[in-house]
Amino acid sequence: MNRGSRSRKLPQLAALQSTVLALQEIGKPEEPVQSEIWTGEKDNQGVSVKAAEGIEVRLDETYSPDFPDTLPTVLNEKFQVLAIWSKPRKTYVQNVLSILDQFEEFIHRRPTVVLGDFNANPTFDAGNAKHSKFHHIEERMNAVGLISAYHQYFGEPFGAESRASIYWMWKENKPFHIDYVFVPKTWSHHITRVDVGDYNSWKSLSDHRPLSVELGTLPAEAWL
């Protein structure tokens, strides 16, 4: 979820009772926060991964200042979260593809969730070059064994999402879906709920809406 001040946003997000919370365009904590990792080019806008009490989160050594809005984190030394805030470095799609190139070894190391604000959707492809289409992201995610939790759960194709993750410029008549949570394919049958925040509940806090994914108990083989 993006935008809005940390002090105003976090109390409402706390009501979601998330085990892991990833935020984009979030300000740097004034003081170190337990179980939260933050990175960013500006103190008032960065990327954060915040874990619930009892979960240890650390920044992975693959973090690169060349990708200041990408946060590779390890949780309980058991699984990983790669949080992305894509910016138009060439294009948003090309930036995501560059991130996947940079962190491919990291993704293969442990079960990994790749999520965040990709600023991309197939409906935006018309203005992109042939090598910068959204399907390239789909193909790369598939190649590293990841599927979109939203699309798996709702059975909707990319580009035909019925639930918006952003209302452009806070306008209810400009809904788009540009935020994603990609999980290991071995987790796909254990997705028990996916939810996207509605327009009215979050309109005072952000133009984006929280995308929540709930998982049931994962069998031992899903952690391999």
- Would you state the pLDDT for residue 5? 64
- Would you state the pLDDT for residue 221? 82
**Residue 73, burial from CB neighbour count under 10 angstroms (0-12, 13-18, 19+):** buried
> pLDDT tens digits for 21-54?
999 999 898 888 889 999 999 988 999 999 999 9
Tell me the CA distances in angstroms from 84 to 11, 75, 223, one per residue in order: 23, 17, 22
- Check the CA dihedral 98-103-108-112 and report its sign: negative
Over the chain, what is the mean pLDDT?
93
Which ranges of the chain does DSSP label H, i.e. alpha helix? 6-14, 92-102, 104-109, 134-143, 149-154, 199-202
Residue 23 pairs in a beta bridge with 48
> pLDDT tens digits for 1-14?
444 467 777 888 88
- Would you state the pLDDT for residue 12? 86
> pLDDT tens digits for 66-117?
999 999 999 999 999 999 999 998 899 999 999 999 999 999 999 999 999 9
Q: Which domains does the chain have, with CATH numbers?
A: 6-212 (3.60.10.10)
Work out the average pLDDT over 138-149. Answer: 98
Beta-strand relationship, 179-184 and 146-148: antiparallel
- Would you state the pLDDT for residue 100? 98
pTM of the model: 0.95
